[in-house]
């Protein structure tokens, strides 16, 4: 069987183009420029790269991009004061605090301080609750990207049997809610689940979000299933060369069985920033009482 | 096979006795009397009966019981003003607005207005979000009762395959979160699920919460499984006599197959008020910064 490779590069570029079109429309029709503020505390090199990429993509989509950099030893109160300022700033529709925060800062308190209407990372419990209650919510970007990728293969997920492996607040749990909104039947499995291979083999849709390199084997997968691999596991190369990035799924085995699969790298990871832009457009529309955007 | 009948009358009485013991302890050690306020709008006869039962059981547990009755044509603003007063009242630790509200009143706005710390019905999206995020939350009473009943049969639910049939905000969705907290593997099925009988037959624990009389048949159930039936469906008697109450599970068929099952009536329904008292004690403890109560 020749598996379809679900290409994150192409899909995220299409999504960004759709965001840019919506931004143009909102500017023209309503005179509003959606704005995203990113707060970076300290100078973790990986975070620096990520924040630069966000900045670039935000500007390319025609949105306003605001960057705030604070030293690693910033007092919690000062960080919270910045968030309060951004909450009150009408030019800012989305606020993202780059995680993890340096030691000594309380991430939970910082996330709680973000106005839920501007919480484009979807991590605020208010947004989790609104999502769980079927209300309008800003949802975490990675699960949003997973749904968009699955829907590249299946126009409707209704009635499909989906398994979500992993139950984190960031990915697994919101993904379950999004799948329920799509009318899929959802099983949530995790480290305490018995006979995970057998559970997995029943699923038409497999979402792997455990953070263990190549844990999901080829023979765990129902022939023809669609596999969305959220894992990005940095793994030392056996020959001492450059580290490799591996997914949670054993890709080479799986691609002989699946109908469609996302690669790592080049899969879900590329969707995250694009989904952040989607959330910022959705937040701006909701804040200004505009109709739901077409993205 | 002789099924064990999970008796709501006995279990709820035991639970109320444990609540009463905790109330005595909190009064003695901290001088605090947990208090529950119930708001009844209009005069629906079924609601009247239910509110009277709550009042009686609250007092029997040694707690303070406050009743507020408003006419069916009360303006929304007046109802919200009462909630604001109860939110601010230090003698009140739990607020329950009896649902459904008469036409013309906006239930969502009323539920949102209740201080999440006093939301003993667990319906506020903030509590749904805290539950979904694994934080301390007041959880809806019926799913809480379901977990307590399942744990009468299995000391631990860890690693068990559970199915929740029905995805309401009131029962199905919070039940999924509570089952995840117990480390069960959870499948959520609903009206759009394909081949529900086959999905159901894989489960060690079946939670039926769909509101359709006797929808779950005996041959849907894995031999020896534990079945918790949330449904209470009023059904006309075939001989024109008094209406019958039927569960979502075909009890007579199921009892030949299951290991244990809750009856209807006499099952989950009896747990609801007892769980409301549990939530009030938990709310009072959290509001006053006391250690988590033993109930």
| Alpha helix segments (H runs only) across A133-263 | 141-153, 172-181, 196-201, 251-254
In the sheet that A35-41 helps form, which strands lie side by side, from edge to edge? A64-70, A35-41, A94-97
Inspect the interface and report whether the beta carbons of A124 and B129 lie closer than 8 Å.
yes
The pLDDT of A86-94, averaged and rounded, is: 98
Position B237 scores a pLDDT of 86
Q: B141-269, what's its fold?
A: Rossmann fold (3.40.50)
A158 touching chain B per CB within 8 A: yes
Q: What are phi and psi of A91, to 5 degrees?
A: -80, -10
Per domain, the residue ranges of chain A are 34-118, 141-269
CA atoms A248, A249, A250, A252: torsion sign: negative
Inspect the interface and report whether the beta carbons of B133 and A128 lie closer than 8 Å.
yes
A199 touching chain B per CB within 8 A: yes
Tell me the Ramachandran region of residue B10: left when phi exceeds 0, alpha when psi lies from -120 to 50, beta otherwise: alpha
Q: Please tell me whether A167 is known to bind a ligand.
A: yes
Which run of H or E residues covers position A156?
Answer: none
Judged against a pLDDT cut of 80, whether residue B19 lies above it is answered with yes
Judged against a pLDDT cut of 70, whether residue A89 lies above it is answered with yes
- The tokens for A232 are 């990005």
- The tokens for A79 are 């960080």
- Does the predicted model carry a pTM greater than 0.90? yes
Can A54 be counted among the known catalytic residues? yes
Whole-angstrom Cα distance, residue A276 to residue A118? 11
3-state helix, strand, coil split of chain A in percent (to 5) is 45, 15, 40
Position A238 scores a pLDDT of 82
Inspect the interface and report whether the beta carbons of B126 and A127 lie closer than 8 Å.
no
Distance from CA of B189 to the nearest CA of A (A): 5
Position A241 scores a pLDDT of 86
- Pick from A251, A184, A243: which is nearest to A216 by CA? A251
Inspect the interface and report whether the beta carbons of B128 and A126 lie closer than 8 Å.
no
Q: Do the beta carbons of residue B120 and residue B94 sit within 8 Å?
A: yes
Q: A34-118, what's its fold?
A: Rossmann fold (3.40.50)
How open is the CA angle B229-B233-B237, to the nearest 5 degrees? 125
Which SS3 state, helix, strand or coil, does residue A162 take? Answer: strand
Instruction: Report the largest interatomic distance among the alpha carbons of chain A, rounded to a whole angstrom.
Output: 57
A191-200 residues labelled b (16+ CB within 10 A) or e (exposed): ebbeebeebb
The lowest-confidence range among A74-78, A132-136, A213-217, B185-189 is A132-136
B189 touching chain A per CB within 8 A: yes
Domains A34-118 and A141-269 share a fold: yes
B173: chain A residues, CB-CB within 8 Å: 132-133, 177, 180
Whole-angstrom Cα distance, residue A168 to residue A64? 31
Q: Please tell me whether A168 is known to bind a ligand.
A: yes
Q: Do the beta carbons of residue B62 and residue B27 sit within 8 Å?
A: yes
Q: Do the beta carbons of residue B200 and residue B157 sit within 8 Å?
A: no
Inspect the interface and report whether the beta carbons of A125 and B134 lie closer than 8 Å.
no
Whole-angstrom Cα distance, residue A170 to residue A162? 18
Q: Do the beta carbons of residue A96 and residue A120 sit within 8 Å?
A: yes
- Pick from B9, B231, B272: which is nearest to B121 by CA? B272
Position B265 scores a pLDDT of 96
Distance from CA of A86 to the nearest CA of B (A): 22
CB atoms within 10 A of CB A249: 32
User: How many Cβ contacts (< 8 angstroms) between chains A and B?
Assistant: 105
Q: pLDDT band at residue A123, thresholds of 50, 70 and 90?
A: very high
Tens-digit pLDDT profile for residues B131-157: 998 889 999 999 999 999 999 999 999
Whole-angstrom Cα distance, residue A35 to residue A92? 5
Position B137 scores a pLDDT of 95
Position A194 scores a pLDDT of 95
Tens-digit pLDDT profile for residues A200-226: 999 999 999 999 999 999 999 999 999
Position B1 scores a pLDDT of 62
* ipTM (interface predicted TM): 0.91
Judged against a pLDDT cut of 90, whether residue B31 lies above it is answered with yes
Tens-digit pLDDT profile for residues B219-272: 999 999 999 999 999 999 888 888 999 999 999 999 999 999 999 999 999 999
B167: chain A residues, CB-CB within 8 Å: 180
Judged against a pLDDT cut of 90, whether residue A1 lies above it is answered with no
Position B238 scores a pLDDT of 82
């Amino acid at each position: 069987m020749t598996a379809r490779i679900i290409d994150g590069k192409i899909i995220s570029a299409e999504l960004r183009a759709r965001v840019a079109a919506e931004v143009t429309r909102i500017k023209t029709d309503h005179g509003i420029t959606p704005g995203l503020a990113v707060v970076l505390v300290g100078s973790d090199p990986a975070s620096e790269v990520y924040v630069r990429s966000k900045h670039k993509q935000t500007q390319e989509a025609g949105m306003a991009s605001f960057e705030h950099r604070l030293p690693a030893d910033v007092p919690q109160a000062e960080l919270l004061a910045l968030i309060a300022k951004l909450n009150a700033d009408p030019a800012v529709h989305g606020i993202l605090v780059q995680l993890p925060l340096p030691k000594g800062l309380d991430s939970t308190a910082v996330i709680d301080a973000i106005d839920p209407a501007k919480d484009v990372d979807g991590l605020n419990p208010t947004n989790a609750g609104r999502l769980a209650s079927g209300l309008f919510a800003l949802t975490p970007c990675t699960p949003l990207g997973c749904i968009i990728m699955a829907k590249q293969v299946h126009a409707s997920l209704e009635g499909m049997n989906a398994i979500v492996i992993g139950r984190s607040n960031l990915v697994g749990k919101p993904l379950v809610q999004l799948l329920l909104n799509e009318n899929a039947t959802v099983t949530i499995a995790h480290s305490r689940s018995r006979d995970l291979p057998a559970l997995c083999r029943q699923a038409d849709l497999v979402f792997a979000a455990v953070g263990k390199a190549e844990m999901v084997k080829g023979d765990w997968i129902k022939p023809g299933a669609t596999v969305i691999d959220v894992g990005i596991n940095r793994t030392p190369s056996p020959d001492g060369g450059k580290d490799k990035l591996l997914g949670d799924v054993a890709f080479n085995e799986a691609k002989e069985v699946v109908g469609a699969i996302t690669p790592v790298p080049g899969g879900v990871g590329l969707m995250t920033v694009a989904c952040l832009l989607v959330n910022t457009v959705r937040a701006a529309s909701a804040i200004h009482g505009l109709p739901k955007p077409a993205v």
